[in-house]
Amino acid sequence: MNSTAVLFATLAIICVHGGPISSRLQPNSPGNIRRLRNLAPADLAEELSGQFEGDIILTEAQQDEILSRKRNGRIELAYRWPSNEIPYEIVVDDFAAEQIGHIERGIRLLERQTCLRFRPRRNQTEDYIRVIGNNPSGCWSWVGNVREGMQELHLAPAELESGCFRLGTIVHEFIHAIGFFHMQSASDRDDYVEIHYDNILEGTESNFLKYSADEVTSFDVRYDYGSVMHYGGTAFSKNGLPTIVPKDPNAEIGQRIGMSERDISKINLMYRCLGKKV
């Protein structure tokens, strides 16, 4: 991999994983919870969920590597979903019928545009994604297959195309579970965006870390302002002013409509979807 290539924040940092999600989930702030109840048009629910970078659950070793800036993270094939097949289960008691249909719609979108296949889990021993919605505090996911058997992906119930139930947000969380971090975590992001630290809420600065070539790869796909994995411009703002400003004055960031062409390309390159049109 060319070290000067655009380094999209992808693939889970590979390490020995931590405990179950209940022990890794961070409490959300009262301010975030209030905003989640009455989201503004520009608000993204996943940015207000109180986890690392808003919606990422870190294993213990990932937290140690990322937050202490150790450089022993590495890209590891073993933490991808084997055979490009992802077992999953939706906890139907947590959602209305139309919400379950929207989750399935996001899954089918991923299947149509990549070579990944999602299927109901078959047995008690395989790794799988369990989609839950038992907490009002936003949406979150682990990154990649963390090999703990069951790993939870949370979507707080909401009206369709609002909150965690924007189709793009559902896809966003599943792309985390596939193995991708956020777009603006790319090591060369400073060539494409300016981070306005004076506008960032105190205590959330770690959400704007960059990852190194030892940790993530872009698969030689250019930085993508239009990625469904990109933060919005006022993410973690303390005053409503921009925290991320594109250097391209015509660029827009933070869309949650669906995957961009480059999102699709990166997933297909990660999972070696040879012959799949992107």
Q: Which residues are catalytic?
A: 173
Residue 68 burial (10 A CB sphere; 0-12, 13-18, 19+): exposed
Q: Which ranges of the chain does DSSP label H, i.e. alpha helix?
A: 21-24, 30-37, 60-67, 97-113, 167-178, 261-270
How do strand 150-155 and strand 139-141 relate by DSSP bridges? antiparallel
Angstrom CA distances, 260 to 2, 62, 113, 266, stand at 23, 27, 10, 10
Please state the separation of Cα 208 from the chain's center in Å.
14
- Backbone φ and ψ for 82, nearest 5 degrees, come out as -65, 145
Contact 11, 75 (CB under 8 A): yes
